[in-house]
C-alpha cells in the first residue's frame, strides 16, 4: 500500500497508462480514497488558530418554527423543528458525552481492512502508531510511525463548540490538501502533459465544498479511539447541522451488529463515505467508501471497507498477534 502522496500518484499514473480507456476522473478517485485511508488518523491540531475560531461563522443553522401567539401575549422562545436524522445524531451526541474516557496508555484496534487482518496500536501520549497485519501481499509489521496520530491531550484541546469545531475541520482539510497538492504538483503536471497528447481529459485538482470537507474530517475524527467524550459528542452535533448528511438508525454492519449508519455522497469525486456507529456506545463499527462513476463509464465500481472487531486499552504495547 502506498505510504506517500508521491507513491499514490505514481500508482495512479501507472494504472492510467496501462488502461488507455480509463477516464482521468478515476485517477482523482484513487488519489482521494488512498490519501484518506493513508492519513485517516492524522487530524492535525492547529493550536495556533484554534482560539481564533471561536466566533467563526458558516455553520448551517437549524430553522426555527415560530410559535403561535395570541394578541397581547409576550413573545416565547421559538420552537426548533429537527429532522429524524438530526434527532438521531443528537442522541448519539448525548451517548458520547456520557461515555467514560479510555484508560490505559495504548489504544488497541483490531479490524478487517478490505481482505486482511490488521491491528493498530496508538500511543495516547506520543501519537506513535504500531501496525500489525496478516494477509496476502501485506507485510506482517510496519515500521513504527512516530507521531502519526494526535495525542489524547491534543484532541482534548480541540474546541467543542460546534461553530468553532466546524471551522477548524475545514481549516485542517485545507492545510492537508495544500500539502498533498504541493507534493504531487510535478507528477501531476507530467501526467497531464501525457493526457493532453492523447487528447484525453486532464486530472484537475479536487474542489470540495465546505460540507464535503467537514464530513471527511469528521469521519477521520470518529475513527480515532483517542478522541474523548466531549469532542466526540461535538462531532455529532456538527454533523447534525451539516446539510446532506444521511442517517439510517436501523442499519447493521457487515457482521450484523446493530448500527447507526451515517453517510455522505461527495458529488465532486462521486464517492459515498459511510460510517457505522454503535448506538449504545457510539464506537465505530465499520467504515466504507464506494465510488460509483466508474460503473456509469462502463467500468466496475470500487469500494473499501474497514470492519472494526474490537477497541481496547493496554498499559504496554502488545506483541504482534499474527506471528
Query: pLDDT tens-digit profile of 109-133?
Result: 999 998 899 999 999 999 999 999 9
Query: Exposed (0-12), middle (13-18) or buried (19+): which is 250, by Cβ within 10 Å?
Result: exposed
Average pLDDT, the chain: 78
First and final C-alpha spacing in the chain: 20
Query: pLDDT tens-digit profile of 132-153?
Result: 999 999 999 999 999 999 999 9
What residues contact 140, with CB distance under 8 A and at least 6 apart? Answer: 132, 133, 134, 320, 322, 323
- Per the document, the length of the chain is 323
Could you give the 3-state DSSP secondary structure of residue 220?
Answer: helix
Query: pLDDT tens-digit profile of 246-256?
Result: 999 999 999 99
Report the percentage of the chain scoring pLDDT > 90.
55
Least confident of 80-89, 176-185, 277-286, 306-315: 176-185
pTM: 0.76
CA distance 210 to 267: 12
| Residue from 98, 52, 53, 43 nearest 227 by CA | 43
Cell for 285?
Answer: 463499527
How does DSSP assign 53-116, residue by residue? GTT---PPPPPEEPPP--TTPPP-PPEEPPPHHHHHHHHHHHHHHTSPPP-SSEEEEEEEETTE
Amino acid at each position: 500500500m502506498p505510504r506517500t502522496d508521491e507513491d499514490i500518484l505514481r500508482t495512479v499514473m501507472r494504472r492510467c497508462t496501462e488502461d488507455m480507456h480509463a477516464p482521468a476522473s478515476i485517477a482523482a478517485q484513487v488519489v482521494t480514497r488512498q490519501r484518506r485511508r493513508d492519513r485517516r488518523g492524522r487530524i492535525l491540531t492547529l493550536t495556533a488558530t484554534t482560539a481564533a475560531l471561536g466566533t467563526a461563522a458558516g455553520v448551517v443553522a437549524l430553522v426555527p418554527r415560530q410559535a403561535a401567539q395570541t394578541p397581547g401575549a409576550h413573545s416565547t422562545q421559538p420552537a426548533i423543528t429537527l429532522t429524524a436524522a438530526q434527532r438521531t445524531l443528537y442522541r448519539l451526541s448525548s451517548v458520547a458525552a456520557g461515555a467514560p474516557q479510555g484508560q490505559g496508555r495504548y489504544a488497541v484496534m483490531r479490524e478487517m481492512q478490505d481482505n486482511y487482518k490488521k491491528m493498530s496500536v496508538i500511543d495516547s501520549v506520543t501519537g506513535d502508531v504500531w501496525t500489525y497485519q496478516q494477509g496476502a501481499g501485506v507485510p506482517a509489521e510496519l515500521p513504527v510511525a512516530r507521531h502519526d496520530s494526535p495525542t489524547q491531550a491534543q484532541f482534548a484541546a480541540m474546541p467543542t463548540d460546534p461553530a468553532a469545531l466546524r471551522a477548524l475541520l475545514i481549516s485542517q482539510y485545507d492545510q492537508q490538501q495544500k500539502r498533498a497538492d504541493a507534493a504531487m504538483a510535478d507528477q501531476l503536471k507530467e501526467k497531464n502533459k501525457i493526457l493532453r497528447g492523447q487528447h484525453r481529459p486532464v486530472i484537475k485538482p479536487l474542489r470540495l465544498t465546505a460540507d464535503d470537507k467537514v464530513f471527511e474530517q469528521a469521519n477521520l475524527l470518529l475513527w480515532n479511539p483517542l478522541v474523548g467524550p466531549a469532542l466526540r459528542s461535538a462531532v455529532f452535533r456538527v454533523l447534525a447541522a451539516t446539510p446532506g448528511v444521511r442517517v439510517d438508525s436501523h442499519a447493521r454492519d457487515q457482521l450484523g451488529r446493530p448500527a447507526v449508519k451515517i453517510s455522505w455522497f461527495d458529488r465532486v469525486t462521486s464517492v459515498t463515505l459511510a460510517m457505522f456507529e454503535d448506538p449504545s456506545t457510539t464506537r465505530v463499527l465499520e467504515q466504507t467508501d464506494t465510488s460509483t462513476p466508474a460503473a456509469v463509464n462502463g467500468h466496475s465500481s470500487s469500494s473499501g471497507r474497514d470492519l472494526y472487531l474490537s477497541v481496547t486499552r493496554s498499559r504496554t504495547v502488545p506483541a504482534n498477534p499474527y506471528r
